[in-house]
Structure 1
């Protein structure tokens, strides 16, 4: 291999060195060459041009490695992987043209004094998804380190993996024969981030070597140090970290590849549990020829069944057409057609106005004090007014129920609380959404929508202000992610959280055989679906949070939605608690609404517990001292008329 001229990298380049591109500025250098910011003249866009060092351009092995990086990038198209634009050759060297990432590397972010755990884990998920995608396309990076991960500021700071110069292709990938550059028992990569087996034999290292490198990056990001030899868990190096990270990092850094995560997908599954609001990842699956044939046969069978069903529906609709028109089915079908445009459940529920409302009273228990007001709905000696619109509601067994109504799929209720002054708020309830009954009308309507997914049953907990402003915590049924939606004028958005818990089957007694499902049984029992305990809270600083579960099982669903100290103004008025139901039978129980006023001058603690006792002591003690001394002196003057005692003495 030729030696590298130390001045070759810093030498000034001619702007028109490469035809079709104008070199603007040198932005980085490395062992193989240099990277320039450039302009693609045909499109006028900014790109990055990577030039192979002129001395290395004479070495066939480095030329092949350069071509290998181009082949690896050409095989990948992912938002978290730097994309390739072009490649070519000049009179003296070779070049690659890639997208220009305007932002720092991960190394600069790790060295920054500020540290955001959730931000780090979110970007770590982006890096893992890029490597997961590369492995699915048969590409192993083999040189993962903070310097090879760039943060695109124009795209919101998302991570992009670059520098695939040492990548290898799996045996079943086509470029393996063209770019099998690594020899057996040769170490390639950056030593601190290399897996033990890669240091001994880089050629035979598989995708689990990248998992080791991801573990080193995560450990360094969390603690600021690279793990060497026997290392302390991250939570010991930096107190306050989630201890579940210890197990994730330790498993990534196992010396034996068989003890690590079997795939990046398994690593992502554990990381997603620690990142509120993260979207579940999808593994790119490579189908074999047999699987592709099976999928094609299944598609043909499914299409045939659907075609037969369509013919049956057409025949049935011809016979029952008159009945549909007479019963108003045509009007309902037109309304369903209008709802084909995808809408979020919260927006669909809030479209119902309270102009055509029904007012009714519900049993409740109201507790009030100067700075505190709580309301328990469903039981108690008091009567609470509620306003409903859309579907009718009723109270059954201490629960607010939206029964199914064929001509009205949406219902909404507002609890008409009179005193809502306060800047600390909590709304709790147990929510259950069940699918509507499978009537013949619904079955026939569903058959007519073979190519349109049926709407999910939804039940929502609401905080509603004026002019349609709201925050909604939506439960879309078992197995579906919980949603937090908000529309507060100029601020609106949606966050997805963890899935609602699935029902648990009854345990089987020891020694007893599990009962087998009988397909002929008309009423086969399924595990009972339990309501989900949900909670919305807003503290005095305007941090809106959502929780699932109670007691020790209480878990945060999303990242806090920071509204600020003037959060009430964003609703237009103090928000009303409420509930909504969409395409479901909904049951809401355990409804508790609490509103508090934070003490003046104390905004650091959301619930100031030390202040109430002194206030109560003063309120009780001052009247006692003011009343007792005033009533005690009057008796002595009344006893003074008893002075005739001296006269009695004279009688003696």
Structure 2
């Protein structure tokens, strides 16, 4: 099972955690659990072990969804579906054992511009056949996306559909009672691949929701883009693509389920004629004398070229071997970019920069960086930070051995409240190419892609951040809030700078957006942090931006917080705290306090005296 870097976490598990299996290494992680490469001790074969997050293993609804995935996989036996081997429970969590698919995901295949169109069409046909089979067995996937499709290199690169954690059964009423499912929503994946009806009510979505997802994947496979709003047909974006693919995609992406293909079988009927079939074997033809001479000359030229290439390769291997030995490089699973940027081991250095701190209204406070007379303080760590044209800029790293990671956090107090909005225009660019950088690429391989981030940072390494992986790459949302952490891939970043936003509602629901106005789109699923959401950060969080490699520019950084209205208490009606009850709960529900505390009644007012008659001569006032 391929490791997908944006969702992998560098954390190991005890090798003997699951009885009968030895965990070898972590190959992937997400919001619901982890996937480890492991060895089945009884047969000595390599398998994949999926562990449910120990915290989620305490929630019956998540346990039910985990068991539901096992039931869905046990129902299916198809060459293009990842097969299940075993399931069980440890002292702390639940696990699934599946076949290990040694190969990349479809997402990684999409990033290869040299991939030929016939190969991509064949892979899409394999995916469609897997979903056709699943639907025939009464299973709807409901979470189809490139990350959940693996390519088995040992089987010739064939596609295998995985991750049925959000699957449903056509007879979902029976499944709901069998697995004790609740309405708890799992924040996994991205809404970009969900059908419109699934976004409104996932339980009511039928098999046609998978057809919509297949249309999104089909479009993105050939164009590298997710179809949003008004988009061009795929044949206009990829040369040599049969225009008949346009009609297939457009029918899959119809907003009304009744306008889509009625079944995956009907979709395959239109797609299959476009996929080149395998070549028929033919007996060898008898060559003429001239043809044999031509073949002999080509063979001699090929041997000469191979000899020269072999010498070149040996020399290159020697250089690379020396460089590898000197660098002492060890290939380990890279941590999430957000985790690297928010690392608490980076030493903060105070620095003041142009900005503005203001009370917009009595209950709303705002801080803006890059322009203004107030010079707010920022805590800068790692790389240098400069202010250029009202923007925060991490310039490219020029010196060898210098930190590749930079972070800047706004150090302003009073950002406590309920509703919050963080916005900025973010750009991440690779440094300009020089002969020195080219030499490093030859010795050390291509450098990592530049990464920029915008998020909120608290104490003890707690954060939520939007990660910009460069133009044309998917944006992601990462979070680490105590025991809960994860990452979600989202929409593709625009070619120009991306306007990013984190918005928290009064109910503590945090949503990440890209774009502005009518073009604004949610990046991934929302995070429900609760009304007391700032407590998840162990303190009132502060805006933080970061950069890894390249040049990162953050323009228009603005953070606005609506402070909660103060609770006024009348002296005549004190708030009564019931023992062993939270103060906040009682204060909100104790009305009126007189029903709990008996107070002495106030003395009645003295009776009014009749007004005195006016005296003809002014005298001193009478004593009362």
Instruction: Using structure 2 for the length normalisation, give the TM-score.
Output: 0.47
RCO (CA 8 Å, sep 6+): is it higher in 1 or 2? 2
Instruction: Using structure 1 for the length normalisation, give the TM-score.
Output: 0.45
